Structure 1
Amino acid sequence: MNVFFLGTGAAEGFPALFSRTPINREALRRGGKNLRLRSGILVDETIRVDLCPDALAQVHKYPQRDLTAIQHLLFTHTHDDHFAARELQYLSCNFAPDREGPLSVWGSAQALTKLQSEVEHFFEAPPVRCRALEPFVEVPVGHLFVTPLVAHHKTDELCFNFLFRNKANDTRLLYASDTGWYAQETWNFLENLPLDAAVVECGRGISQSPYEGHLTLEQCIAFKAKLALKPGAPVYLTHICHTGLLLHEEMQELCTPHGILVAYDGLELSL
C-alpha cells in the first residue's frame, strides 16, 4: 500500500491564507516542510481521500503523480477544506474529453446529498457514481477494502475516518484526519486491531483552544497509546494548523521522544 500526502495543512493552509502572524511569516521564510496545502492523501495512485480547494495546485505541484487517474474519491466530511465538490464539474467531457469511465464517489448519505445539490449548478452532469458508506461496514474500494470509522468532529454531521486494508498482504492503515477524540464505539472497534501505520490529525497543537473537533499534541500522544500498532508501525501527524503554534521542526522535536513523526506535503509512505 502506497500513501502519498497531497497536503498536510488545516483549513486555511499553513502559512495561512489571510494571516500574517509571526508563525505564518516564519513558516513562509523557512519554506520546505513548513509550507502546507490543505489535507488529503492518495492511496495506490487510484484512491483519493478528500478533494480540497488546493486540488488543482496539487496537480501542478506533483507532476510525477497522475492525479487525473483517480478512480475513487472518499469524503471524510463536508467542511470546505475537504469537500470542494464544485471542482467535480471539471470531470465532464466538456472539460476532460480524454477521461475514461466514471469516478466513484464515496461518503455518508448526508455528504452525497450535499454533492447532488452542488451538481445542480454544474454546466453539465459529471460522470460520477455515488456510493453511500455506513459506519463500521467494510466495503471493497478498488483493490482495497475500506471501513468508515465514526469521528468526533462535527455535531451536525456524521464524519468519517477510514481504515484501509490490503487483503493481499494483510496490511492496515488508519487515516484519522479531522477526528477529535473518538467516542467509545470507535475505540471498541479499533481495540486489538493490528495496524501497520496510522495517520492522525493534530489540528490544535499546543494551543489552549477548547474546540473538541481536533486533537492537541498531548491528545495525539495518548491516541497513539490506545492503538494496537504492530512493532515498528509508524504514526504520522497531519492537518497541522498555524494556530497550533508549532512549526514543523518544533513539532517534530516534541514528537520524537514519543516515536511520532510529523508528515509534510509530498511525503510518501509504503506499507
Structure 2
Amino acid sequence: MRIFFLGTGAAEGFPAVFSRTPINLEALRRGGKNLRLRSGILLDEVVRVDLCPDALAQVHKYPHLDLAAIEHLLFTHSHDDHFAVRELQYLSRNFAPDRELPLDIWGSHQVLVKLCGETPHFFEEPPLRYRALEPFREIAVGHLWVTPLVANHKVDELCFNFLFRDGDTRLLYASDTGWYSAETWDFLADISLNAVIVECGKGISTNGYTGHLTLEECIAFKEKLALKPGAPVYLTHLCHTGLLLHEELEEHCAPHGISVAYDGLEFVL
C-alpha cells in the first residue's frame, strides 16, 4: 500500500488564507514543510480520500502523479475543506473528453444526499457512481478493503474515519475525528495496525472544541491503539491556531515516537 499526502493543512490552510498572525508570517518565511494545502491522501494512485478546494493546486504541485486517473473518491464528511464537490463537474465530457471510466463516489448516506443536491448546479453532468457506506461494515473499494469508522467531529452528520486493508496490512486514517466513542474504540481494540494517520487540528491550543484533537490527545490516541512493532504514526490536518510550526511540532512529537506529515510525503506499507 502506497500512501501519498496531497495536503496536511486544516480548513484555512497553513499559512492561513486570510490570517497574518506571527505564526502565519513565520510559516510563510520558512516555507518548505510549513506550507500546507488542505488535507487529503492518495492510496496506490487510484483511491483518494476527500476532495479539497486545493485540488487543482495539487495537480500542479505533483506533476509526477496522475491525479486525473483516480477511480475511487471517499468522503469523510461534508465540511468544505474536504467536500469541494463542485470541482466534480469538471469530470464531464466537456472538460475531460479523454476520461472513459466513471468515478466511484463513496460516503455516508448524508454525504451522498448533499452531493446530489449540488449536481443541479453543475455545468454538465459528470460520470459519477454513488456508493453508500455503512459504519463498521467492510467493503471492497477497488483493490482495497475499507471499513468506515464513526468519528466524533460533526454533531449533525455521521462522519467517517477509514480503516484500509490490503491483505494483512492495515492503515487507520483518522482525519477530523475528535476522541472516539466507546463503540469505535471497542471495534479497534483487537485490530493490529501497520500505520496510523491522525489529525492534530488543535495542537497545543486549549479551546473547548471537541471535534479535533490536541497534541496531548494524539499521544493518548496512539497509546490506546494496537500498533504492530515499528508502525509509524503521522500527524496531519495541522492548523496555525495549534500554535506550532513544523519543526516545533516535530520536537514535541519525537519523544513519543510520532512523526509529523507534510505535503508531498509518501510512505509504503
Quickly name the TM-score band, shorter chain normalised: over 0.9
CA displacement at 1:269 relative to structure 2: 1.1
Q: Identity across aligned pairs (percent)?
A: 78
2:163 aligns to what?
A: 163
Alpha-carbon deviations, 1:191-217, whole Å to 9, x = none? 020000000000000001110000000
Whole-angstrom distance in 1 between the partners of 2:14 and 2:200: 13
CA displacement at 1:33 relative to structure 2: 0.3
Partner of residue 177 from structure 1, selected from 175, 178, 199: 175
CA displacement at 1:93 relative to structure 2: 0.4
2:101 aligns to what?
A: 101
Whole-angstrom distance in 2 between the partners of 1:187 and 1:6: 28
Q: Report the secondary structure of 2:205's partner residue.
A: coil
Compute the TM-score of the two structures, normalised by the length of structure 2. Answer: 1.00
Q: Report the secondary structure of 2:248's partner residue.
A: helix
2:206 aligns to what?
A: 208
Q: Report the secondary structure of 2:113's partner residue.
A: helix
1:47 aligns to what?
A: 47
2:246 aligns to what?
A: 248
Whole-angstrom distance in 2 between the partners of 1:181 and 1:187: 9
1:3 aligns to what?
A: 3
1:192 aligns to what?
A: 190
1:78 aligns to what?
A: 78
Whole-angstrom distance in 2 between the partners of 1:128 and 1:216: 37
Aligned residue type for 1:262: V
Q: Name the Cα RMSD after superposition.
A: 0.4
Aligned residue type for 1:227: L
Whole-angstrom distance in 2 between the partners of 1:103 and 1:123: 17
Whole-angstrom distance in 2 between the partners of 1:208 and 1:186: 25
1:239 aligns to what?
A: 237
Q: Does 1:88 align with 2:88?
A: yes
CA displacement at 1:123 relative to structure 2: 1.5
Q: Report the secondary structure of 1:120's partner residue.
A: helix
Q: Does 1:217 align with 2:218?
A: no
- Give the length in aligned residue pairs: 269
Aligned residue type for 1:248: H
Q: Which runs of 4+ in 1 moved over 6 A?
A: none
CA displacement at 1:258 relative to structure 2: 0.2
Aligned residue type for 2:202: R
Whole-angstrom distance in 2 between the partners of 1:57 and 1:268: 18
Unaligned regions of 5+ residues in structure 1, if any? Answer: none
Unaligned regions of 5+ residues in structure 2, if any? Answer: none
CA displacement at 1:28 relative to structure 2: 0.2
Q: Report the secondary structure of 2:121's partner residue.
A: coil
Compute the TM-score of the two structures, normalised by the length of structure 1. Answer: 0.99
